[in-house]
Structures are given as structure tokens and as C-alpha cells.
Amino acid sequence: MAILIRKKPGIKSSEITPKSVYLDRRKFMKHSLATSVLLATDAMLPAWAKKWPDLADSKYSTKDTPSTFEEITTYNNFYEFGTGKEDPAKNAVNFDAKPWSITVEGECSKPGTFDLEDFIQPYALQDYIYRLRCVEGWSMVIPWVGFSLADMLKTFEPNSKAKYVEFTTLYDKSRMPGQKRRVLNWPYVEGLRIDEAMNELPIMAVGLYGDMLPNQNGAPIRLVVPWKYGFKSIKSIVKIRFTETQPKTTWNEAAPKEYGFYSNVNPDVDHPRWSQKKERRIGEPFWKPKIDTVLFNGYGDQVAHLYQGMDLVKNF
Ligand code: MTE
């Protein structure tokens, strides 16, 4: 569905600031949609997309100024569409995220396979302005549209053996050309401990800047875990599995000494090849000093208790 309404933004990035402005941008895009002969009409949008103009702001949204739409959609990590930062925006243009279904399986009483629309329908969408800190040392502030991961997981009634949740990205070389190269062990897999997944912060994102999720940001549905390094926030999810044992995650398998299972943002635990003490906010000029990285990316009040008694140097 995202591909149907993809259109170059008509507002300068300098004008894109908080919600009032991006709501206007959304109106602009709807207008563009209605007047374009090539694009979908409003009637072709799924029911859940029509609700978006009235979304409430999450109480967990940061007050930091959001990165611009252009920054968020042209500087990406999405190895399924190439390893360069500008590759996903170019190579995902023709990715067709429809139809899309999600399979839920493993240790739960209500597994199943669901069309995206049915899958999303029961949950309350909100705007969540969250920081995303990449392990590479850059960060952005992204106004996501999404819903609570915990609310979603509970509907599948995980049982007492469900100690972890595993997420898997689509594996289809014909639609994701980067998968033709074995730069990672495809499909991309990520995981959370069940109490992390049931925390109030993680979301399943289906949009950003009030519009549907651009392909390069993980269309049509992705995870966002704001206190962990960006690679935990897996894109284009097709499978969710409740497991008793810790999932084997892609980056941990690729380089276990560099990427742990937990991967909490932590300025005191350096990556073996570089420091994690500071970060560069994308969009800030190079001459401006980097900003200090904060433990748990600043979300410690909500998540520090999850790691009480754990050695976060060992469990990095
Ligand atoms: N998910 C998949 N399937 N493939 C990827 O390569 N990259 C991760 C994460 N999710 C990645 C992924 C990394 S390293 C980061 S930093 C974030 O996506 C980047 O998200 P963004 O491009 O929307 O900013």
C-alpha cells in the first residue's frame, strides 16, 4: 500500500518541524493523492489509514525537535536494499509491500496468519516521537505512527514458556535485491526478552510523519525499541514467534563480540572498534560538537528496572 501513495514531499525540509506542520504536510499529501490520476483515491486506502489525521501524541514522545522527513528517508540502514546509507531510498522504490501477512507462532494460545489490515485493526494508533540511536554513532528523532507492541502481543496470549519474542523480516530475493548478496545471514532476525517486549515503550510502527511508512524505513510494519541501538528495530516484519530460548539474532550471529543480544544504548560500553560516548544528530552541521549519549537513550525511567542485577558490560 505504501508504494501507491509514494510521492516526493512538496514541503521544504526546513519547514518540517513538530506536529502542527507535519499534520499540514499530511493534508498536503492527501490533496496530492486526490488530484493525481496515477495515485490511489481515498477509497483505496485501508480503513486504519483513514484514521490518521486525528492521532493523539503518546505521553512518551520526546520534546526533541524531529529530524526532517528527508533526513529520515534518505539516510537509512536496510541491508535488504543495499549496505550504503543512500541505497535503501533508491533501491526500495519499487518494493511492493502488498499484500502483506504476518504469522504469529510459538508459545501462545492464539497463533495464526493475518492480513496486515486485520492484524493492525484492533490497536490504537498514536504518534510517538522517539529518538533512534544507531550503534554507528548517529541519531535521529523520528515521529512514528504506531501502536503498543505489548497490547499486540497480549492478544495472542503468550503462555508461561514464552520467555522471548523473535521477529523476522521478509525473505524474498526478487523483492529485496540486497538479499542476493550474503552480507548477512538472511532473513534478518531480532529478538527481545518477554518483559522488554511487554514494556510500555516499544511500538510496531506503520507510519512516520503522519503518513504510511516509506519502503526504506521498513514498510509496511516494523519494530521500534527506543532504548536500544537501532539495529534491534527490525523492519518489514512477516513473523513473530514466542520462544522459550533466546533467539539467534542476525547481528549477534554475524559479529558476536560487537553486537550483543541486549544492545541497550550505553555510553559506558564501547563498541570494540569505537567509543559509544557521543553521537551525531543527523542534520547537525559537522563543525558542531557531537552530543553526549545517554544511558538507555534517555528512557531509563521506563526501562532501567528491567536490567536490575544484570552486568550490562557482560550483557551488552
Ligand atoms: N531491519 C532489517 N530488516 N534490515 C536492516 O538492515 N537495519 C537496522 C534497523 N532495522 C536493518 C533493520 C539498523 S542497523 C538501523 S540503525 C535501523 O533499522 C535504521 O532504521 P531507519 O533506516 O528507519 O532509520
Tell me how many domains the chain contains: 2
> Is 23 a residue whose pLDDT tops 50?
no
Separation of CA 43 and ligand 1 centre (Å): 32
Answer yes or no: do 28 and 131 share one domain. no
Answer yes or no: do 172 and 191 share one domain. yes
Least confident of 10-19, 202-211, 223-232, 257-266: 10-19
Answer yes or no: do 160 and 257 share one domain. yes
- Per residue in 175-191, pLDDT (tens digit) is 999 999 999 999 999 99
Answer yes or no: do 171 and 250 share one domain. yes
Q: Does ligand 1 have an atom closer than 6 angstroms to the CB of 134?
A: yes
Q: Which three cell numbers stand for residue 99?
A: 499484500
Separation of CA 15 and ligand 1 centre (Å): 26
Place 228 in a pLDDT band, splitting at 50, 70 and 90: very high
Q: Does ligand 1 have an atom closer than 6 angstroms to the CB of 80?
A: yes
Answer yes or no: do 32 and 116 share one domain. no
2 is a domain residue: no
Q: Does ligand 1 have an atom closer than 6 angstroms to the CB of 230?
A: yes
98 is a domain residue: yes
313 is a domain residue: no
Place 141 in a pLDDT band, splitting at 50, 70 and 90: very high
Place 52 in a pLDDT band, splitting at 50, 70 and 90: confident
Choice from 235, 250, 251, 259 to test ligand 1 binding pocket (greatest atom count within 8 A of CB): 235
Answer yes or no: do 27 and 176 share one domain. no
> Is 310 a residue whose pLDDT tops 50?
yes
Closest-CA residue, ligand 1 atom 5, reads 78
Closest-CA residue, ligand 1 atom 9, reads 231
d(CA 80, CA 180): 9
Instruction: Check residues 50 and 129 and name the one with the higher pLDDT.
Output: 129
Among the three residues 26, 45, 64, which one is the final residue of a domain in this structure?
Answer: 45
Least confident of 36-45, 176-185, 202-211, 229-238: 36-45
Closest-CA residue, ligand 1 atom 10, reads 234
Place 54 in a pLDDT band, splitting at 50, 70 and 90: confident
Residue ranges making up the domain that contains 23: 13-45
Separation of CA 108 and ligand 1 centre (Å): 27
Answer yes or no: do 34 and 72 share one domain. no
Q: Does ligand 1 have an atom closer than 6 angstroms to the CB of 76?
A: yes
Mean pLDDT of the chain: 88
Q: Does ligand 1 have an atom closer than 6 angstroms to the CB of 77?
A: yes
Answer yes or no: do 40 and 103 share one domain. no
177 is a domain residue: yes
Residue 200 is predicted with a pLDDT of 98
Answer yes or no: do 27 and 171 share one domain. no
Answer yes or no: do 28 and 152 share one domain. no
Q: Does ligand 1 have an atom closer than 6 angstroms to the CB of 75?
A: no
316 is a domain residue: no
Answer yes or no: do 79 and 215 share one domain. yes
> Is 17 a residue whose pLDDT tops 50?
no
101 is a domain residue: yes
Place 44 in a pLDDT band, splitting at 50, 70 and 90: low
272 is a domain residue: yes
- Per residue in 149-167, pLDDT (tens digit) is 999 999 999 999 999 999 9
Answer yes or no: do 119 and 216 share one domain. yes
6 is a domain residue: no
Give the Å distances, CA to CA, from 219 to 75, 193, 199, 258.
Answer: 15, 24, 23, 27
Which atom of ligand 1 lies closest to the CA of 216?
Answer: 22
Separation of CA 278 and ligand 1 centre (Å): 20
Q: Does ligand 1 have an atom closer than 6 angstroms to the CB of 169?
A: yes
Q: Does ligand 1 have an atom closer than 6 angstroms to the CB of 61?
A: no
